[in-house]
Chain A
Amino acid sequence: MFKVFAKGFLGLAVALVMNLPTMSAAQDASNDTLISVENPWARASIGMSRPGGAYLTIRNDGKDTVSLVGLRAEISGMASVHETRTNSDGVSSMTPAEDIAIPAGGTVALEPGGYHAMLMQLQSPLVEGETFPLTLLFSDGTELEVNVPILGVGARGPEG
């Protein structure tokens, strides 16, 4: 339902600029990415003083690996991907995530207990029932804007 497609921006630009004689080289450089996002959702925030969290699944239908390298959102003064890890003693901690590789034909989920979009410095509260735009930045230059529905504060997944 919330499926958004983006043709690799850089790939497209390179393919348009270059002509047939250099086509194979252009293809090598292009990555030919086809990245889509499924089931984005965020939890309503309680005020604006605490970081918000958002989740989604990224699918890479291209033929090369691409990496999620960053986030941008007007609603957040500082948006970044963080990773929660829980060890065998049941201790959970959170660290900023490295670039996240999405293999060709594969998916990577940002979901509770794993990767999440951490939305710091909220510019306005995340209000249940509303949506906000979140831009995903990829290693091949693709910028993919997703409209993220805001669910209740007690949501446990994209279904609520």
Chain B
Amino acid sequence: MKMVRIALWSMVAVAVVIVATLWMTERDQGPVAARLAPEGEGFSADFELTDHNGMVQTEEDFRGRWMLVFFGFTNCPDVCPMGLATIAQVMDDLGSQSAGVQPLFITVDPERDTPSVLAEYIPQFGPGILGLSGSSEQIERTAKSFNIYYQKVDDASAPENYSVGHTSSFLLFDPQGEFVRIYEYDQDPARIVSDLRDRIGA
């Protein structure tokens, strides 16, 4: 009887270790950008994508300007227009200082969001926002280098029966292409503007 009890408890202990390991591994694989504080471990922007005018763009093309990067997809009725509206408001409110900021919208739905689809959609929110697309592999690589998450979600009541879950925070990079901080897509634009002004002016 005692042997059985010891055996059972050993099995429980093993199970706990396995679950804890799985849990920690899973957490490590999650998106880290959203958890990075301004003083957190940094990373650099790294991508090669096609913009909505058909031009190939890399992070090098935006050196010297702050990059405000937002991931999304055009069939998204809630988060993405809200995020783009927030960015458009921020750019308006920055006035002349907006020249130093390049907002980028990178699609997480490259199958549907070709550069020409982005061309029809993105400029409606504001002339300064650049839409970027690419092959599925290019988008996957970009997401990895930006530490963001995206995943197709089955939804029978969405266009073509799917939507895409994705990191909705904005990522800010400095003029050298180093990650600085995140903002939330539904944050008060005035708070983002005041933070950006402090950084641009500094």
Interface string of A106-138 (1 = CB under 8 A from B): 000000110010111000000000000000000
Asked if A89 meets B34 with Cβ closer than 8 Å, knowing A46-B120, A53-B81, A112-B82, the reply is: yes
**Cross-chain contact B77 with A51 (CB below 8 angstroms):** yes
Considering the chains assembled together, what is the distance between the CA atoms of A82 and B157 in angstroms? 9
Q: Which of the 9-residue segments B5-13, B15-23, B162-170 touches chain A?
A: B162-170
13 contacts between A and B (CB under 8 A): A46-B124, A52-B77, A84-B78, A84-B79, A86-B79, A86-B168, A92-B168, A92-B185, A94-B153, A94-B155, A119-B77, A154-B85, A154-B126
Residues of chain B within 8 A (CB-CB) of A105 are: none
Q: How far is the CB of A158 from chain B (nearest CB, A)?
A: 13
Task: Give B77's nearest chain A residue, CB to CB.
Answer: A53
Interface residues of A in 66-94 (CB under 8 A from B): 78, 80, 82, 84, 86, 88-94
Q: Does B186 contact A (CB under 8 A)?
A: yes
**What range describes how many residues of A lie at the interface?**
20 to 34
Residues of chain B within 8 A (CB-CB) of A154 are: 81, 84-85, 88-89, 125-126
Considering the chains assembled together, what is the distance between the CA atoms of A86 and B184 in angstroms? 10
**Cross-chain contact B78 with A50 (CB below 8 angstroms):** no
Q: How far is the CB of B27 from chain A (nearest CB, A)?
A: 9
Asked if A94 meets B124 with Cβ closer than 8 Å, knowing A89-B34, A113-B186, the reply is: no
Residues of chain B within 8 A (CB-CB) of A4 are: none
Q: Which residues of A are at the interface with B, using a C-beta cutoff of 8 A?
A: 43, 46-47, 50-53, 78, 80, 82, 84, 86, 88-96, 112-113, 116, 118-120, 153-156
Q: Does B74 contact A (CB under 8 A)?
A: yes
Q: Does B159 contact A (CB under 8 A)?
A: yes
Known: A88-B34, A92-B166, A92-B168. 8 other contacts (CB 8 A): A46-B124, A50-B77, A90-B184, A93-B153, A95-B153, A96-B156, A113-B186, A156-B186
Considering the chains assembled together, what is the distance between the CA atoms of A80 and B184 in angstroms? 26
What secondary structure prevails in chain A residues at the interface with B? strand
Considering the chains assembled together, what is the distance between the CA atoms of A142 and B89 in angstroms? 39
**Cross-chain contact B78 with A80 (CB below 8 angstroms):** no
**Cross-chain contact B167 with A118 (CB below 8 angstroms):** no
Considering the chains assembled together, what is the distance between the CA atoms of A12 and B98 in angstroms? 58
**Cross-chain contact B167 with A53 (CB below 8 angstroms):** no
Task: Give B34's nearest chain A residue, CB to CB.
Answer: A90
Q: How far is the CB of B156 from chain A (nearest CB, A)?
A: 8
Q: Which of B74, B86, B167 contacts A90 (CB 8 A)?
A: B167
**Cross-chain contact B169 with A93 (CB below 8 angstroms):** no
Q: Which of A46, A51, A90, A119 contacts B169 (CB 8 A)?
A: A90
Task: Give A119's nearest chain B residue, CB to CB.
Answer: B77
Q: Does B30 contact A (CB under 8 A)?
A: yes
Considering the chains assembled together, what is the distance between the CA atoms of A116 and B77 in angstroms? 8
Residues of chain A within 8 A (CB-CB) of B30 are: 89
**Cross-chain contact A94 with B163 (CB below 8 angstroms):** yes
Q: Does B99 contact A (CB under 8 A)?
A: no
Q: Does B31 contact A (CB under 8 A)?
A: yes
Residues of chain B within 8 A (CB-CB) of A112 are: 78-79, 82, 186
Interface residues of B in 111-160 (CB under 8 A from A): 120-121, 124-126, 149, 151, 153, 155-159
